[in-house]
Amino acid sequence: MTSSIQVQSEGIKKIDAPSASGANIVLSLGYLLFFIGTWHFLTFWSKAQSFNVVDPLMGVPFRYIMPAFGIGELAVSCLCLFTKKWRLALLLTLWMTLNTAVFRFALGAAGWFHPWVIVGDLTSLLNISSLTSDIIVAAVNVFLCGGALFVLFKNRRAGEDIKLNCPTCGGKTSFGNQWVGRVIKCPHCGNNLHLVRPS
Ligand SMILES: [Zn+2]
């Protein structure tokens, strides 16, 4: 993921990208969501009987619910991997993990204490217990949620944007506090631009 540049009024180009480590986390979340989304999408064709179980909340077999989750996860993974809309991607990731948690708690409240039926194939494939698969699913969701929160918090918009004129071409660039001290390619002329607070 490269820096996200928006052109504002008066030809100011705004830099809005996460830090390098944040960008790596966004990519990891994207790959993970791609894997989970593909997995959920393919459950539609799974032969595992557990997917024919009817979800007590929606009254529809899990076979039809999981692919819908999968399509959402694949869409967000594309946002993470191929676009610069990282804030949107992270907010959607948070929203999805929250939904998963609510869904799971609602199932529990409805007296449904089965293991995650969605990993039915995983348990037989890896020969692991349903408790282990529950723990894996919980850990994946904590990672998704924690990663998204971490990057959003670390790259939160703090105060006013700083505006700087490129010493080479004079083009105006604006950036947030977290970018101070970094060197980027000037979005106007492509020369190195040291992002400092104008004195
Ligand atoms: Zn320039």
The DSSP secondary structure of 54-113, one letter per residue, reads BPTTTSSBHHHHHHHHHHHHHHHHHHHHH-S-HHHHHHHHHHHHHHHHHHHHHHHHTT--
Q: Ligand 1 centre and the CA of 83: distance in Å?
A: 24
Q: Ligand 1 centre and the CA of 1: distance in Å?
A: 21
Q: Ligand 1 centre and the CA of 125: distance in Å?
A: 55
**Tokens read off for 23:** 């960008």
Q: Sign (positive/negative) of CA torsion 25, 156, 76, 67? A: positive
Neighbouring-strand partners of residue 174? 14, 163
Q: Ligand 1 centre and the CA of 181: distance in Å?
A: 17
> Nearest CA to 13 among 158, 198, 170?
170
Structure-token match 């993470």, residue found: 80
Query: Sheet holding 13-15: strands in order across?
Result: 5-7, 13-15, 172-175, 162-165
Q: Ligand 1 centre and the CA of 165: distance in Å?
A: 8
What is d(CA 52, CA 121) in angstroms, rounded to the nearest whole number?
13
Q: Ligand 1 centre and the CA of 164: distance in Å?
A: 10
For the CA atoms of 136, 138, 142, 144, what is the dihedral angle to 10 degrees?
A: 70
Q: Ligand 1 centre and the CA of 184: distance in Å?
A: 10
Q: What is the pLDDT along the chain (199 residues), one digit of tens a residue?
A: 445 667 666 688 888 778 788 899 999 999 999 999 998 888 888 777 777 778 777 888 888 888 888 999 999 999 999 998 999 999 999 999 998 888 878 877 877 666 555 555 666 667 777 777 778 888 899 999 999 999 999 888 767 789 999 999 999 999 888 788 888 889 899 999 999 988 7
pLDDT at 1: 41
Q: Ligand 1 centre and the CA of 37: distance in Å?
A: 41
Q: Ligand 1 centre and the CA of 189: distance in Å?
A: 4
pLDDT at 155: 83
